[in-house]
């Protein structure tokens, strides 16, 4: 019988829960105020109160990012229930996000409405290694199959990232620490009643650790990033916006040296440049809002060994989409749109392109004030595969006493990426007969709010047919007939005292190949994070977090479970000046995210943050 717990997980989770509910019992129960309810945009691609959303959404705010001293988006995602992060050995290593056991290519990533998944990457996934938090205002994680509004690559879920736009401020930071790490950046943001403009520049470098766990030489990393966004109200109804992003990175990576071709220290490097640009035109009429987005993103990657090219991959995506929301009555809304895109890749000596297009529509109804129901359908068409329909239904009931019951069912569809169809290096064989992936998934969850406390629990179940996987033994990509992922996600926030708060998340994810009962790779069955924050005085913020990551199946051997402790402190001299410091992996735990790749031991960092 499958266990839904481990002793370590239960001890971490119960540590705060047991003490917190004693405080909840004595807390004053306050009525839920819809006006103060959090607004999310990912669930319907339009702003909605969380109390009106039937999907499971996790929100990571700018305050969360600053308080937790995250450097990269992947660090924030690692602390999120239902999300697993796999990194190839320290900063700069290829970093993938998996939602609810889905593969990295089944997670769609959008930044300010731009799809940034890499068409030239394995499975067309997104590499989070270089995504700095310098210009990030908000991260929303939408769990479960979401093909209705987001299309292909959204079987596991969607990560929607919003950059800073609504604060008139200039901020800068500089920090340094272990292994010669230096990181810094600045954001300048100006705004008036009609227009805004924001420019961000950031960079980091580190001597790193040996990526290969058997290696001894340090593998360094450097990253330079810049972004711009600006918008103007053309009149009372029309608004235009321009977004541009650029990233240049250099990573020293280990490889497979002859004559044994075993993984270890080598002089391999990877250089990558990412570009993205988008233009948006939105209108806001009485009862009808719409937005047209035209975007282009590209990546150029090149691997070298002693100056000789060993691998290269170039990919780009040109897309246009329109989304409109029509309010027929106060309690009835139609959200509909369409999109077209062209993706191109140059990989493994193959230069190939593919086109895709889709139309979709969703009806949202509030039959009574406490109940919101949405349902919709979508049709995707592909130049190199047959098209497919998908559907989705979701509902949320705001029950009495601040109790919310959410449920959703959705389908997903993902055509094989151009990389998967053409990859033919290192002895692998291209598989032109790969079949598209199809998914069905549902979830049901409860959320309880009592004053400053909240507790939510969600059960999910997703089944994928023809899931695409990679055979590390050398035969390349193939289809798994049936894969299944099911589990539970728990999240809680407690105000234990006016100076003390706690945040908890726990995930149980049982993801397997139904044909062989083998666990899917790089997905911990158990994962939990407990964060305790203490603010003895207004200027001082102290926090500690304990992360438990259960064992994982991987190749050539599985990854052991581990517990990691992080410590953080920040002191604000004024509203404009703050110093901060942290100790990561304070217990110097030895662990691997990916089999054969080492992660840093104990690390100490300190920095200063300025707001003008």
As a whole-number percent, the residues of the chain with pLDDT over 70 amount to 92
195 — pLDDT class (breaks 50, 70, 90): very high
Does 2 reside within a domain? Answer: no
CA distances from 168 to 135, 197, 199, 217, 350 (A): 13, 9, 12, 45, 47
Report yes or no: 476 and 423 within 8 Å, Cβ to Cβ.
yes
| Statement: the pTM of the whole predicted model exceeds 0.75 | yes
Does 358 reside within a domain? Answer: yes
Q: Which two tokens stand for residue 224?
A: 């330079």
94: left (phi over 0), alpha (psi -120 to 50) or beta: beta
Does 397 reside within a domain? Answer: yes
19 — pLDDT class (breaks 50, 70, 90): very low
Per mean pLDDT, which range of 239-248, 433-442, 471-480 is the poorest?
Answer: 471-480
Does 589 reside within a domain? Answer: yes
Give residues with Cβ within 8 angstroms of 41, minimum separation 6.
Answer: 47, 48, 140, 160, 162
Q: Which two tokens stand for residue 459?
A: 């059960």
Higher pLDDT, 444 or 306: 444
Residue 525: how many other CB atoms lie within 10 Å: 22
How many residues are given for the chain?
612
Q: What is the pLDDT of residue 368?
A: 94
Q: What is the pLDDT of residue 367?
A: 95
Does 89 reside within a domain? Answer: yes
Largest Cα separation within the chain, whole Å, is: 72
Per mean pLDDT, which range of 344-358, 403-417, 450-464, 500-514 is the poorest?
Answer: 344-358
452 — pLDDT class (breaks 50, 70, 90): confident
Does 587 reside within a domain? Answer: yes
φ, ψ of residue 597 to 5 degrees: the values are -110, 130
Q: Are strands 540-549 and 114-115 parallel, antiparallel or unpaired?
A: unpaired
CATH number, position 281: 2.40.170.20
Residue reference for tokens 């895109």? 341
Residue numbers of the domain that contains 411: 7-611
Q: Which two tokens stand for residue 422?
A: 């053409």
For residue 510, give the H/E element and its range.
strand 500-513
Q: Domain count of the chain?
A: 1
Does 1 reside within a domain? Answer: no
Does 504 reside within a domain? Answer: yes
């Amino acid at each position: 019988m499958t266990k839904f717990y481990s002793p370590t997980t239960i001890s971490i989770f119960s540590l705060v829960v047991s003490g917190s509910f004693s405080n909840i019992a004595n807390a004053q129960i306050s009525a839920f105020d819809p006006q103060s309810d959090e607004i999310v945009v990912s669930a319907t691609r339009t702003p909605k109160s969380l109390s009106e959303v039937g999907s499971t959404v996790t929100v990571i705010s700018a305050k969360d990012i600053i308080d937790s001293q995250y450097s990269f988006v992947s660090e924030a995602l690692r602390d999120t229930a239902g999300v697993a992060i796999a990194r190839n050995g320290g900063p700069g290593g290829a970093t993938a996000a998996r939602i609810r056991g889905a593969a990295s290519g089944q997670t769609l990533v959008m930044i300010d409405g731009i799809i940034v998944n890499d068409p030239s990457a394995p499975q067309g996934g997104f590499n989070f290694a270089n995504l700095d938090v310098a210009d990030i205002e908000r991260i929303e994680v939408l769990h479960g199959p979401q093909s209705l509004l987001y299309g292909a690559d959204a079987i596991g879920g969607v990560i929607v990232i919003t950059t800073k736009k609504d604060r008139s401020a200039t901020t800068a930071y500089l920090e340094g620490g272990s292994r010669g790490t230096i990181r810094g950046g600045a954001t300048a943001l100006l705004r008036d009643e009609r227009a805004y403009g924001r420019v961000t520049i950031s960079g980091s470098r580190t001597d790193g650790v040996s990526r290969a766990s058997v290696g001894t030489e340090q593998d360094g990393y450097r990253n330079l990033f810049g972004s711009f966004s600006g918008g103007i109200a053309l009149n009372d109804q029309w608004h235009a916006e321009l977004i541009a992003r650029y990233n240049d990175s250099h990573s020293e990576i280990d490889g497979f040296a002859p004559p044994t071709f075993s993984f270890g220290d080598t002089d391999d490097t990877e250089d990558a440049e990412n570009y993205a640009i988008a233009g948006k035109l939105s209108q806001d009429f009485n009862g009808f809002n719409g937005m047209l987005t035209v975007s282009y993103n590209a990546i150029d990657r090149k691997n070298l060994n002693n100056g000789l090219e060993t691998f290269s991959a170039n990919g780009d995506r040109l897309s246009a989409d329109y989304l409109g929301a029509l309010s027929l009555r106060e309690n009835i809304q139609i959200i509909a749109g369409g999109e077209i895109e062209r993706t191109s890749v140059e990989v493994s000596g193959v230069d190939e392109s593919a086109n895709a297009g889709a139309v979709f529509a969703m009806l949202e109804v509030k039959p009574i004030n406490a109940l919101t129901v949405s349902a919709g359908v979508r049709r995707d068409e592909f130049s190199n595969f047959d098209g497919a329909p998908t559907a989705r239904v979701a509902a949320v009931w705001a029950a009495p006493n601040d109790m919310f019951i959410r449920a959703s069912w959705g389908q997903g569809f993902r055509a094989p990426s151009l990389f998967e169809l053409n990859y033919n290096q290192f002895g692998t064989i291209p598989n032109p007969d790969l079949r598209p992936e199809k998914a069905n998934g549902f979830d049901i969850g409860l959320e309880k709010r009592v004053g400053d406390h909240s507790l939510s629990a969600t059960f999910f179940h997703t089944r994928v047919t023809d899931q695409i996987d990679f055979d590390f033994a050398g035969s390349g990509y193939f289809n798994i007939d049936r894969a299944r992922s099911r589990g539970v996600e728990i999240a809680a926030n407690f105000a234990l005292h006016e100076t003390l708060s706690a945040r908890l998340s726990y995930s149980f994810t049982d993801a397997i190949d139904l044909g062989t009962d083998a666990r899917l790779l790089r997905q911990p069955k158990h994962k939990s994070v407990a964060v305790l924050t203490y603010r003895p005085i207004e200027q001082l913020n102290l926090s500690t977090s304990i992360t438990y990551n259960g064992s994982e199946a991987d190749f050539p051997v599985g990854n052991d479970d581990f517990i990691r402790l992080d410590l953080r402190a920040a002191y604000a001299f004024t509203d404009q000046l703050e110093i901060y410091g942290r100790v990561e992996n304070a217990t110097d735990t030895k662990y691997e995210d990916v089999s054969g790749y080492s992660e840093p031991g104990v690390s100490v960092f300190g920095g200063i943050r300025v707001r003008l």
